[in-house]
Amino acid sequence: MIITFTPNPSVDRTVEVDGLVRGAVLRATATRVDPGGKGVNVSRALAAAGCKTRAVLPSGGSEGLQLGALLEIEGIDVVPVPIDGAIRANVTVVEPDGTTTKLNELGPDISADEAAALVAAVEAAVTGPVDWVACCGSLPRGLADDFYADLVRTLAGSGARVCVDSSGAPLLAALDAGPDLLKPNAEELAEAAGHPIRTLGDAVAAAEALRARGVGAVLASLGADGALLVDADGAHHGEATVLNPRSTVGAGDALLAGFLAGGGAGPHALREALAWGAAAVSLPGSRMPTPADLDHSSVRLHPSVDSNRNLEGQSS
């Protein structure tokens, strides 16, 4: 069982257009509405692959009801925590070459009582054999920057490994709490390490610096440059070919889901991560891949990391 916790979930509307022109009236070529939020997407990808998952999240407003209904359709075990405010409704605009423009709302303002209820719900969800708790996404207003860090410490001794996938101050605060896995993109990795990431060697050095602070392993999504895993056994890098990119929304979440489903450690898990992430890029909107969408033959794991290789792709 893999638990996901998404403190700032959303309902995501994706609109595909022939080209994004500022100030113009555009006609959509396709639209879709999906459950949103990084942890929600991880659970969706896991559920689509037949993996046991439970999604803990706040629920409020008409958007909360809509999100619950959408997740029920996908057969996900949801633990909704009632809040007074409404969860987010986000809009994503996708162009034919896969270029993605996102408009994300701030999300609700969480009270102290609601914050305590969220923590209690996560603790209660970690019952029976739980492999991972994935704490994912931005924090809504009202939650302190060290919310994830405190949650990592709270879950210590629960028997479940804990992953953090966030950015900014919440990510930085979580470093010293000792999460078992950190899942940044290249920009977030650079921010956490405090120096630019221009080459794979820079990325490895940054990941090792985070491990020196107590992080068990770092899985960095590097967009077109693939993904990098740095753990106690060293560094592993790989890529996956995407012939027809549709949308990068949720690709990093699918990558994390594939890694956790693949065992959460080592090259085999990295291979799964790359296959799942590439499949998500090939799908419209924030649709998560099913096993039928995966193409493991497109994945290339390199026998060694080319430290001098420049990173040119955009992070996902």
> How many CB atoms within 10 Å of residue 138?
19
Any idea what DSSP says for residue 313?
S
Please tell me the distance from the alpha carbon of residue 146 to that of residue 157, in angstroms, as a whole number. 19
Strands (E), 124-226: 132-136, 161-165, 181-182, 217-221
Token code pair at residue 270: 């990295």
Point out the catalytic residue in the list 253, 293, 295, 306. Answer: 253
Please tell me the distance from the alpha carbon of residue 121 to that of residue 80, in angstroms, as a whole number. 9
Q: Which residues of 89-115 are buried (b: 16+ CB within 10 A; e: fewer)?
A: bbebbbeeebebeeeebebbebeeebb
Catalytic, 109? Answer no
Please tell me the distance from the alpha carbon of residue 264 to that of residue 211, in angstroms, as a whole number. 16
Contact present, 97 and 250 (Cβ < 8 Å)? no
Which residues are tagged catalytic?
A: 253
